[in-house]
Amino acid sequence: MFLADFRPGHAPNSRHNSGFGSSPCLFPLASELLFRATRPAKSLAWGFAVKILIYGAGSVGLWAGTTLAKADREMTLVGRREPVQALRNEGIRWRGWGGDRVVPVHWAVESTASLSPAPFDLIVVAVKSFDTGNAVSDIERFTSPETIVVSLQDGLGNLETMAAVLGSRVEGNLLGATLTTDIELTGPAAIHVKTRADQMRIAPFHRWHPAPASHSIAALFREAGVEAAICPDIQQELWARAILQSAIGPLTALYDIPVGGLRCREGALDVLEGVVEECFAVAGASGVKLPWKQSGDFLRRLYSHTLSEMAEHRPMMWRDLQKGQRTEIDALNGYFSARGRETGVETPVNDWVTRLVRAKVSVRTPEPFRESSSLKLA
């Protein structure tokens, strides 16, 4: 899985860190001092026993499970049959950044029906965007007003889907989070972490909610060794990275090339620019403030740095198509197309790209992924 860093002027920590950017996050130390002064009686990161549910045992779910295991918390993972069996037998196999290791899992299940209905303190949703609806309906009964729910997912629309189901049940405890790293799923419960996890950004779904839950989660991940900070607007973070993923993911998948190869394919950059310009127009019509004033600023950074820094990288959409799996095109280019129709913005390039990816997926996977997914309502 790849999630790019978007801060302008940021010095990348790895060749997969694009250097794009958004609004600055609160300085971690200042953020922690503020949290110490205002934290609630029960804190996730200050010595209390914490029950964690990670919903989704793909690359991000396994990364989160391994990372939070460093904080010595009670953890349950929910996933499909094959990874769950591997988790039970072998634990999480981590290879790459920070050294190879095997992390035992407290509890791994295919269905939440086998779990006690008692609320969890923290629920991390790490499924693909097309499974978000099933996931949030499944976890609803494990939430309470004190439960913190974090979306650690690619694409747009996930938080809105979760908010529609959970409503006021979790109030200001519904958070979005972004992460910069490159993770590849190499086996049923095995990941190759190719780069260090750069600064994790966390914020409430609704900007007007206070952020004590965000401080708790940031402190918990810092306890586990991840640089984490609070950002003022999670939507800006999500939209910024979705534009980059929409620009490069589908084209690398359709052409079957790494990111750097886009420079060498006739017409590829014309399509890329059309995607970006439409995404910016949709963002403007939707009232979303991006880190760049116009698409040209984004493209200049993309051409001068990002395509070179990510030259050998193959995005998740390429990996999904290679495995014959459903992609997240509907949460990226397809989302911009749908939002464009709602706001009166024409998006012919994103429409075309979305149709091509869907067509390629349908050739390789004739039956919808959701019918074979075990991440269903229990």
Query: What was the pLDDT predicted at 263?
Result: 93
Buried b (16+ CB within 10 A) or exposed e, 232-257: ebbbbbbbbbbbbbbbbbbbbbbeeb
Question: pLDDT digit string (tens) for 149-158?
Answer: 999 999 999 9
Query: What was the pLDDT predicted at 364?
Result: 60
Structure tokens at 142: 């494990």
In terms of DSSP H, where are the helices of 25-183?
28-38, 59-69, 81-90, 132-139, 158-166
Question: pLDDT digit string (tens) for 248-284?
Answer: 999 999 999 999 999 999 999 999 999 999 999 999 9
DSSP letter at 27? P
Boundaries of CATH 3.40.50.720 in the chain? 24-232
Report the range of poorest mean pLDDT among 11-20, 143-152, 253-262, 295-304.
Answer: 11-20
Boundaries of CATH 1.10.1040.10 in the chain? 236-363
Residue 1 confidence (pLDDT) above 50: no
H helix count then E strand count, the chain = 14, 13
Query: What was the pLDDT predicted at 268?
Result: 95
Question: pLDDT digit string (tens) for 302-344?
Answer: 999 999 989 999 999 999 999 888 999 999 999 999 999 999 9
CATH T-level topology, domain 24-232: Rossmann fold (3.40.50)
Query: Superfamily assignment of 236-363 in CATH?
Result: N-(1-d-carboxylethyl)-l-norvaline Dehydrogenase; domain 2 (1.10.1040.10)
The residue to which tokens 């060749």 are assigned: 15
Beta bridge partners of 77: 54, 108
**270: exposed, middle or buried (Cβ count in 10 Å: 0-12, 13-18, 19+):** exposed
Structure tokens at 31: 């953020």
Tell me the average pLDDT of the chain: 84
